[in-house]
Amino acid sequence: MNELSKYESIINDLNLIETQAEVLKNKAKDIEIRNIHIERAIEQMKAENAALSQKVVKLEGEIDRLIGKAELNIFNSLTSKEKETLKTKIENVINKIDYHLSS
C-alpha cells in the first residue's frame, strides 16, 4: 500500500504541474496576443507621427513664407518720403552710436 500511495502522490504532483503548465501556457498566449496588438498600435502611431511631422514642416514653411511676405509688404507699403525719413532716422542713430563708440 505504501507503493500505491507513493504512486498516487506522484500522479497528483504531475497533475498539479500539468495544470500549472497549462495556466502558464495560457498566460503566455494572452501576453503574445497583447504584444501583437501593442506592436500594431505602435506602427500605426509611427505612421501618424510621420504624417504629422510632414504637416508641421509644411506649416512651418507656410509661416516663414507669410512672415517674409508680411515684412516685405510693410516696407513696400511705405511711400518714398516715408522711406527717406526712415533712412535718415537710421543714419542718425548710426551716427550717434559711432560718436559714442569713438568717445
Every domain of the chain and the residues it spans: 2-102
Residue with grid cell 517674409, as numbered in its chain:
68
Q: In residues, how long is the chain?
A: 103
CA-based max dimension of the chain: 121
Note the pLDDT of residue 100: 83
Burial class (CB in 10 A: 0-12, 13-18, 19+), 98: exposed
* CA within 13 Å, CB half, 102: 6
Is the full-model pTM beyond 0.75?
Answer: no
Residue 1: the pLDDT is 56
Report pLDDT for 6. Answer: 87
Per-residue confidence of the chain (103 residues) as pLDDT tens digits?
577 788 899 999 999 999 999 999 999 999 999 999 999 999 999 999 999 999 999 999 998 888 877 666 676 777 888 888 988 999 999 998 888 888 7
